[in-house]
Amino acid sequence: MRWPAVACILLIMLAGASNAANEGRARHFSITYATGSAHEMDDSSLLDVLEGAYDRVNGCFGTCPGHVEVIVVDDKAMDEEAGEHVDSFSAWNKAMSAVVLRQEALKNGTSLPVVVEHEMAHLAINDILCKKDPREFQWMEEGICTLASKEPLCEADVSKYIVGHGFLDTPGIQDAIKNENCTISKNGYMQSYSLVRRMVQQYGMSAIIDMLECPETGLDEAFRQCTGEGFRTFYEEWEKDVMATASK
């Protein structure tokens, strides 16, 4: 999530945290606990998770920001500001990078690294994506971040969900991701993930990064330049594979 949509939320949270905050610093992070959020793990343990996620994501992309503000908020605040189904979000501009974590997320030591890596992946590719036409490339963002964070998704379940809710073209995927209806939004996330996953399987993550960094403004030409194949052909092959996997 980029900065304009959440700037006010972050400013409010930081203002509310100013007196009761407990901050910890590491190589790349500052942690602020917003008013009302209890510490579910000690700062050193949380910083270990954050730094580990940073190293893994930066090892893949090499573009993570030098410093990230991490704000932990209580569940009520997150529900009101972002929604009941949101465990985390990120915000970015040229001056600041931030990750907001739901207090409850700190209780799950298994999923927390995945959540943090997903948001760090957003921060790693934001600087690249902001230079591209969002209508052409932004549909890939959630898929890239979901794949980079190694979220434990079952290919068969993802394929069945996509077939059950209908295939979308790339503008439709991005529109679905932004939809406030969770069922529609999930379909967009699943299709972004499945398409990007197939790209990485076939061409490698380096081809994805090359596609985002190349000067071509259109998806079709960037895809052809970086893979040697037309995107429409690739999409049709992916569609067939999804249907075949869903039918097993």
Tens-digit pLDDT profile for residues 142-175: 999 999 999 999 999 999 999 999 999 999 999 9
If one counts the domains in the chain, the total is 2
Residue ending a domain, among 129, 160, 175, is 129
Looking at the chain, the whole-number percentage of residues with pLDDT higher than 90 is 59
Of 133, 140, 151, the residue nearest 216 (C-alpha): 133
Residue ending a domain, among 105, 129, 153, is 129
Task: Find all residues with CB under 8 Å of 206, minimum gap 6, and list them.
Answer: none
Q: Is the dihedral of CA 159, 161, 167, 172 positive or negative?
A: negative
Together in a domain, 236 and 221:
yes
- Angstrom distances, CA of residue 175 to CA of 30, 73, 111: 33, 28, 27
The CATH number that applies at residue 69 is 3.30.2010.30
Domain extent, residue 200, equals 134-246
Q: Which residues pair with 73 in a beta bridge?
A: 102
- pLDDT tens digits along 195-219: 999 999 999 999 999 999 999 889 9
Q: What is the mean pLDDT of the chain?
A: 86
pLDDT at residue 32 in the model = 86
- Angstrom distances, CA of residue 149 to CA of 52, 54, 118, 198: 12, 11, 5, 16
| pLDDT value at 228 more than 90 | yes
Together in a domain, 75 and 187:
no
- b/e per residue, 79-98, with b = 16+ CB within 10 A? eebbeeeebbbbbbeeeebb
For the record, the structure tokens of 131 come out as: 């230079």
Q: Which helix (H) or strand (E) holds 29?
A: strand 29-33
Together in a domain, 146 and 61:
no
- Helix and strand numbers (H, E) in the chain are 12, 5
Q: Which residues pair with 69 in a beta bridge?
A: 30, 98
Residue ending a domain, among 129, 161, 191, is 129
| pLDDT value at 17 more than 80 | no
Q: Which residues pair with 104 in a beta bridge?
A: none
